């Protein structure tokens, strides 16, 4: 790549952008702020090492995720992506709680009004609901959270 069309990384670092620049495919000059965030959080050297450790066909995804993490950390310097994870976990707990409450209400209603129990769905119904019990087993499978599970 000529000096007139340097990638965002090489522009930011004020260096020549070689033809085999590893960062060029993932940090185009059209989005300089994206690399600025990545450089601030990870550093150009670390990002280069991280991308080199990943197979070429997965580098775009890796660069995208690294950029996302860097931007999240710039926006929230204390919690970064972990703040988003925490928010989602709390949302899961809240929705799960609502489902359990409604299930309880349904069971109570059916006990009081057995004649109002719904008919089973027709055979081969593609919209049959997922078993909530099965989802309960899968809901909280996640990595160890730095601030404990809620």
For another protein, the closer CB: 14 or 130: 130
The Cα-based distances of 10 to 1, 6, 48 in angstroms read 10, 6, 12
Shortest distance (Å) from residue 6 CB to another protein: 17
Burial of 130 (0-12, 13-18, 19+ CB in 10 A): exposed
Shortest distance (Å) from residue 47 CB to another protein: 10
Q: Rule CB under 8 A: which residues touch another protein? A: 30-31, 33-34, 37, 40-43, 45-46, 50, 53-54, 58, 61-62, 65-69, 71-73, 75, 77-85, 87-89, 91-92, 95-96, 98-99, 102-103, 105-106, 109, 113, 116, 118-119, 121-122, 125, 127-130, 132, 135, 138-139, 142-143, 145-147
Backbone CA torsion sign across 49, 50, 55, 57 = negative
CA distance 140 to 150: 10
CA distance 100 to 30: 48
For another protein, the closer CB: 2 or 122: 122
For another protein, the closer CB: 16 or 40: 40
């Amino acid at each position: 790549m000529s000096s007139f069309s340097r990638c965002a990384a090489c522009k930011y670092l004020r260096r020549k952008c070689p033809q085999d620049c590893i960062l060029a495919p993932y940090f185009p000059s059209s989005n300089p702020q994206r690399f600025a965030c990545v450089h601030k959080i990870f550093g150009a050297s670390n990002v280069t090492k991280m991308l080199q450790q990943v197979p070429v066909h997965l580098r775009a995804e890796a660069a995208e995720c690294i950029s996302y993490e860097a931007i999240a950390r710039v926006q929230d310097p204390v919690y970064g992506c972990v703040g988003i994870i925490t928010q989602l976990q709390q949302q899961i707990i809240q929705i799960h709680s609502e489902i359990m409450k409604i299930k309880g209400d349904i069971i109570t209603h059916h006990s009081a009004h057995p004649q109002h129990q719904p008919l089973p769905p027709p055979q081969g119904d593609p919209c049959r609901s997922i078993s909530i019990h099965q989802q309960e087993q899968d809901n909280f499978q996640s990595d160890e959270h730095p601030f404990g599970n809620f």
